[in-house]
Amino acid sequence: MDTTVNVVQIIVPAHNAAQTIDACLQPLLGSSHLAPRVLVVDDGSTDDTADRAERCGAAVLRLTGPLGPAAARNAGVAATTAPVILFIDADVVASPEAVERIVTVFDRHPEAAAAFGSYDDRPPARNVVSLFKNLLHHFVHQQADERSASFWAGFGAIRREAFEAVGGFAADRYRRPSIEDIELGARLWRAGRPVVVVRDAQVTHLKRWSLRQLVATDVRQRAYPWSELLVRGEAPGGDLNLRAGDRVAAIAAWMGLAGLVVALTGAWPVGATIAACALATIVILNRRLYAGFARVGGWPFAIAAVALHAGYYLYSSATFGICLLRHAWRGRQIAGSR
């Protein structure tokens, strides 16, 4: 099957994305090949997202919502017929070259059901938290195995046949932005449908993060629902940022925290030694990541990013532990009711 840009449908789910939709659409609509293939699915926006998209020249499907990005993407797929679907988030800027790189991967990998790229290392938001969040995503995807058991809908393509075979996004399960794309990738994995990571298909992320947004999003919309997939056995545990090294680093983060507590309670040499060893473990395990941080943002940023990453390990692993305990408790309740 020919999988050039001429047979791809680009679907952009959008909710109150007026600040970024123009930048997202301009490079796509500026290409004579891509422009007729762009569909914006407006998910009940209360701003002028849909009007802006239409003024840019995109086709717009208006939903009464918000129903969530999973439902918006499903609606977009249902409204089109192209054999390859490419999802692009409304706060992402993708060049025509990046689109071609990710879509034509199906020619090189005819067995692949889906493919996804990554953010680039040049996010416009340069505050420490935004730079950390975007670069973490970039380097994790860049260092990932070419074959993945996940999927990323920020910039990800899928064959229509595979999408329909596994039932599309779980819109009833994920009514807000969450891990609906990861869960879809897990179903592809369970069905034996390969997903390919395309490292040179990189896009620019326009979002500016605050520390509060970062933690709230990571815990509520990422860590907890992803933990649920893991404890239910619906997804593998060794993909992307769930590798063995990340698990060891999470343990080291807790050891470091314990060391700080010990030091503050009076046993300074012992506590400081424990904390220093824990920090050294985290740095060694993530040396390529932190070198990338320093290369892009400089060493002062890299040092701050190490602290943010240690915090990430703490709250993500704590969330997984809580989810695991709740899962075990529910299992005991079900067993006790029999």
Identify the pLDDT of residue 249: 95
Let me know if residue 92 belongs to a domain. Answer: yes
Write down the number of H helices and E strands in the chain: 14, 9
Which of 191, 208, 225 corresponds to the end of one domain? 208
Let me know if residue 215 belongs to a domain. Answer: no
Identify the pLDDT of residue 338: 59
Identify the pLDDT of residue 326: 87
Residue with tokens 């220093």: 276
Residues 268 and 150 in one domain: no
Count the Cβ atoms, other than its own, within 10 Å of residue 265. 9
Residues 186 and 318 in one domain: no
Residues 181 and 254 in one domain: no
- pLDDT, tens digit (0-9, with 9 covering 90-100), for 44-92: 999 999 999 999 999 999 999 899 999 999 999 999 999 999 999 999 9
Residues 55 and 122 in one domain: yes
CATH number of the domain that residue 76 is part of: 3.90.550.10
Let me know if residue 223 belongs to a domain. Answer: no
Residues 44 and 136 in one domain: yes
CA 11 to chain centre: 17
The C-alpha angle 168, 182, 231, rounded to 5 degrees, equals: 115
Identify the pLDDT of residue 1: 39
Which of 192, 208, 224 corresponds to the end of one domain? 208
Let me know if residue 229 belongs to a domain. Answer: no
d(C-alpha 111, C-alpha 133), whole Å: 32
Residues 109 and 189 in one domain: yes
Segments forming the whole domain that contains residue 35: 5-208
Question: What's the CA dihedral at 66, 89, 56, 160 to 10 degrees?
Answer: -90
Let me know if residue 246 belongs to a domain. Answer: yes
Let me know if residue 219 belongs to a domain. Answer: no
Identify the pLDDT of residue 336: 64
Structure tokens at 152: 């990323």
What's the number of domains the chain is made of? 2
The answer to whether 149 and 239 have CB atoms below 8 angstroms apart is yes
Count the Cβ atoms, other than its own, within 10 Å of residue 206. 20
Residues 278 and 196 in one domain: no
Identify the pLDDT of residue 243: 80
Residues 191 and 264 in one domain: no
Count the Cβ atoms, other than its own, within 10 Å of residue 297. 18
Residues 116 and 197 in one domain: yes
Identify the pLDDT of residue 33: 86
The answer to whether 32 and 54 have CB atoms below 8 angstroms apart is no
What is the Cβ-side half-sphere exposure of residue 294, based on CA atoms within 13 angstroms?
A: 10
pLDDT beneath 70: ranges in the chain: 1-6, 238-241, 331-338
Residues 144 and 261 in one domain: no
Let me know if residue 169 belongs to a domain. Answer: yes
Let me know if residue 236 belongs to a domain. Answer: no
Residues 172 and 245 in one domain: no
Residue with tokens 């047979």: 7
Residues 263 and 332 in one domain: yes
